[in-house]
Amino acid sequence: MTNRRGATTQRMTRRSLLAATALPLTAPFIQARAAEELVFASYGGSIEQFLRKDLLPTFEKETGIKVVYSAGTALSQLSKVIATKSRPEIDIYWSNDLTHAAGKAMGLFDKVDPAIVTNLKEMIDGALDPQGIGVTTHIASTGLQYNTEKFKQAGWAPPTSWYDLWDPKFKGKVAMYSISVLYSQELLGAISRLTGGSESDIRPGLKKIRELKDMGNIAAFANSPAEMDNIMAQGQAWITYNGNIRTLLMKSQGAPMEFVVPKEGAIRFSLYSDAIKGAPHPVAAQKFTEFFLRKDIQERTAEGIFYAPTNRNAVLRPDLAAVMPYGTKAVAALIKLERDPMNRDLGEWIEKWNRSIES
């Protein structure tokens, strides 16, 4: 008991430092206690609802492992993993391309254990990490989202290209994400590429997106996907770029929204299951990865929150298959951004964007 107390005090100091440096966010973070527990760093909103109600009870029933759910954003969860590096609290972190690259570069993640995660061989090409650190659990895509009702009223055709955002008729109708949100980082990467730059040279993309501001197309900036949903639902803006799952979730709740794969390609967005190095429940973490990648679970996830499966045996209903990057051809058509330079230069990206676009 005394030991545990000592440990808690020590941890508190580190946490209060983190609190002092910024964040009043984050759900209450519960400390792992019993052996059969798993601390799962994930996301909030509809994703949390689905996981808590649907998937996690199945996992708990099958394995007897209790899941402690921590909701946040990919980057805030990464911050937490870094903050607790010397005494990890999170067992499994559901990361994305960028934070996977970042955490891997810093050596925060463990390898996937093929002895427990036996379904690794069922994965589609490219889902496995070359170094065996983490595995792609789901794929989504970032493209255009528009308000079908407003477009119909105005008599406009649906957008077809990334460049449609620059259409003068969308003056004051385009919603943007803050650069803190991944979708804007992806937009900047993709537009840089399309305009002759690359992930290592974003000047052309920055210049192009600056035009969007100068011509007055930008209606608002959203600080989070939830805020974007509001801006779009209230008709404050009619068109934006968004993750397909965001659009599909809105649509499934009855909003007049549609997702468009631009003709230049939608951007590939992957989620990873990353076990944290030195975490208290390594076996449970591997078991969870195995569960997450299972054919039936992947099918249920696609139905519930529209994340496309990476298990090649997963079969989707045709209507679902049509709206997500499902199948070799659809996955291959996605723009695959170079996440390593993106992660390396993220500080400069944000600074430059802050100065020239979000101000």
Partner 1 sequence: MRRFLTSRHATPWLLLLPASVLFAVFFVAPFITLGINSFYDYGRMTGIIHVFTWKNYEKLWLDEYYLSVIGATFRLSSITALVTLVIGYPVALYLTVASPRAKSWVIALILSPLLVSVIVRTFGWAIILGKNGLIERVFTAIGIPGTDFLHTEAAVVVGLVNVLTPFVVLSVATSLQSIDPAVPLAAASLGASPLRVLSRVILPLSLPGILAGMLIVFGLASATFVTPAVLGGAKFKVLSTLMYQQAVILQNWPFAAAIAVTLTLIVLIGQGLQNMAAERSRYGASLR
Question: Which residues contribute to the site for partner 1 (CB under 8 A)?
Answer: 13, 16-18, 20-25, 75-76, 78-79, 82, 102, 105-106, 177-178, 180, 220-223, 234-236, 343-347, 350-351, 354-355, 358-359
Q: Closest Cα to residue 95, out of 40, 149, 144? A: 40
In DSSP terms, 243 is beta-bridged to 142
**Residue placing its CB nearer to partner 1 in the complex, 140 or 222:** 222
The token pair at 287 is: 């078991």
Minimum CB separation of residue 20 from partner 1 in Å reads 5
**Residue placing its CB nearer to partner 1 in the complex, 140 or 179:** 179
Minimum CB separation of residue 181 from partner 1 in Å reads 9
**Residue placing its CB nearer to partner 1 in the complex, 219 or 271:** 219
Torsion of CA 86, 87, 91, 96, to 10 degrees: -40
Q: Which helix (H) or strand (E) holds 142?
A: strand 135-147
Minimum CB separation of residue 24 from partner 1 in Å reads 6
CB neighbours of 33 closer than 8 A, spacing ≥ 6? none
**Residue placing its CB nearer to partner 1 in the complex, 221 or 291:** 221
**Residue placing its CB nearer to partner 1 in the complex, 90 or 305:** 90
CB neighbours of 334 closer than 8 A, spacing ≥ 6? 139, 141, 265, 266, 267, 268, 325
**Residue placing its CB nearer to partner 1 in the complex, 233 or 321:** 233
CB 37 within 8 A of CB 284: yes
Query: From CA 135, how far away is CA 127, in angstroms rounded?
Result: 6
CB 32 within 8 A of CB 276: no
CB 275 within 8 A of CB 282: yes
Name the one residue in this structure whose structure tokens are 């995660």. 117
Minimum CB separation of residue 258 from partner 1 in Å reads 21
Q: For every residue of 202-250, which 3-state class applies, written as one string?
A: CHHHHHHHHHHHHCCCEEEEECCHHHHHHHHHCCCCCEEEEEHHHHHHH
**Residue placing its CB nearer to partner 1 in the complex, 16 or 153:** 16
- Name the 3-class secondary structure at 264: coil
Minimum CB separation of residue 313 from partner 1 in Å reads 37
Name the one residue in this structure whose structure tokens are 């005090």. 9
Minimum CB separation of residue 344 from partner 1 in Å reads 6
Minimum CB separation of residue 172 from partner 1 in Å reads 11
DSSP 8-state assignment for residue 28: -
Minimum CB separation of residue 66 from partner 1 in Å reads 28
**Residue placing its CB nearer to partner 1 in the complex, 129 or 227:** 227
CB 209 within 8 A of CB 118: no
